[in-house]
């Protein structure tokens, strides 16, 4: 699945009514629809409603997927939200809605009822009673294997095709106390480890210390023509740009990973990591010249 002009090649695209301005996506936010399972019911609502709601992708109960907003345009899926101190996640995220009924309550010993009144047999649907600090208590329907497969394929396409993406998160994480989707049965850790392997951005976040000064700059001093800028601080295939020798770049964060000191820097519209041994500090006078 390649991405061209914000659209996933080969995927059905049905334009949403609410498509916002251009964005640079940095995170993917996973949701569920808290709706009935009838094909196209949630997708139709998300495509055309009077409440200004929209989302980039909708994954049906059978695993089929439709795109409704180009990935480089804003959709209105997260509402009031914040990710690592940055507010209004719609401005920098791609939203994926997965069809699922959301929290259910006991109807009788054998059945569970959704918030909109639909009743499901617990044993038929594999419904489980789970409580977590983030979700509270409820009965929840597992996502189908086909849905999880589609989530993984789609995330792989997005992380290959959108160089600025850094993390996968959930609506409950960016809107704590207000949202509980996706539900606690979503295999978030497994999905993250498939997409990121051992370079989980959360580990990077935990190991990277924040840079003190605003004026922290370095000059690239590589023995070759250029130094690789990498999406994560590792030497695996993750190069997003090449910084020419002698370029001065601002440092955003520093950290030690696998025995090397790395710097997170900004270059040419990208944020990424370089090994610090090919960078020397520069002083204010030099770079503000």
**CB nearer to Zn ion: pick between 181 and 216:** 181
**CB nearer to Zn ion: pick between 31 and 278:** 31
Least distance in Å: CB of 205 to Zn ion? 23
User: How many chain residues bind Zn ion (CB under 5 A)?
Assistant: 3
Least distance in Å: CB of 181 to Zn ion? 4
For tokens 């997927």, the residue is: 65
* Rg from Cα positions in the chain: 21
Least distance in Å: CB of 94 to Zn ion? 13
Least distance in Å: CB of 80 to Zn ion? 12
For tokens 């439709």, the residue is: 66
**Cβ–Cβ under 8 Å, residues 252 and 211:** yes
**CB nearer to Zn ion: pick between 31 and 103:** 31
Which residues in the 175-204 window bind Zn ion by CB under 5 A?
181
Element (H, E) at 271: strand 270-275
**CB nearer to Zn ion: pick between 83 and 273:** 83
**Cβ–Cβ under 8 Å, residues 210 and 85:** no
- Which DSSP category does 22 fall into? B
169 binds Zn ion (CB under 5 A): no
**CB nearer to Zn ion: pick between 90 and 222:** 90
Phi, psi of 134 (to 5 degrees): -80, -35
Pick one of 27, 31, 68, 167: the residue that binds Zn ion (CB under 5 A).
31
Q: Binding marks (x or -) toward Zn ion, 124..163, rule CB under 5 A?
A: ----------------------------------------
Pick one of 47, 135, 171, 217: the residue that binds Zn ion (CB under 5 A).
171
**CA dist., res. 226 & res. 220, Å (int):** 8
Element (H, E) at 67: strand 65-67
**CA dist., res. 116 & res. 57, Å (int):** 23
**Residue span binding Zn ion (CB under 5 A) among the ranges 24-32, 66-74, 160-168, 220-228:** 24-32
Give the residue among 56, 63, 66 at the shortest CA–CA distance from 10: 66
The contact set with Zn ion (CB under 5 A) reads: 31, 171, 181
């Amino acid at each position: 699945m390649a991405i061209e002009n914000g659209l996933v090649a080969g995927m059905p695209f049905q334009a949403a009514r609410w498509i916002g301005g251009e964005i640079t996506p940095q995170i993917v936010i996973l949701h569920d629809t808290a709706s009935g399972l009838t094909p196209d019911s949630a997708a139709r609502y998300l495509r055309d409603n009077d409440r200004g709601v929209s989302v980039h992708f909708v994954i049906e109960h059978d695993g089929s997927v439709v795109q409704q907003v180009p990935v480089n345009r804003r959709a209105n899926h997260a509402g009031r939200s914040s990710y690592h101190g940055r507010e209004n996640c719609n401005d920098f995220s791609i939203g994926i809605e997965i069809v699922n009924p959301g929290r259910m309550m006991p109807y009788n010993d054998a059945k569970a009822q959704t918030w909109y009144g639909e009743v499901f047999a617990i044993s038929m649907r594999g419904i489980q009673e789970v409580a977590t600090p983030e979700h509270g208590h409820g009965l929840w329907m597992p996502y189908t294997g086909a849905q999880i497969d589609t989530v993984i394929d789609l995330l792989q396409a997005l992380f290959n095709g959108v160089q600025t993406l850094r993390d996968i998160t959930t609506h409950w994480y960016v809107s704590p106390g207000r949202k509980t989707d996706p539900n606690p049965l979503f295999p978030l850790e497994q999905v993250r480890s498939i997409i990121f392997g051992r370079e989980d951005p959360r580990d990077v976040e935990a190991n990277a210390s924040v840079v003190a000064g605003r004026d922290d700059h370095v000059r690239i001093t590589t023995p070759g023509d250029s130094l690789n800028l990498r999406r994560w601080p590792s030497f695996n295939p993750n190069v997003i740009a090449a910084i020419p020798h002698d370029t001065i770049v601002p440092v955003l964060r520093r950290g030690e990973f696998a025995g090397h000191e790395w710097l997170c820097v900004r270059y040419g519209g990208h944020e990424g990591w370089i090994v610090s041994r090919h960078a020397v500090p520069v002083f204010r006078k030099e770079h503000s010249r």
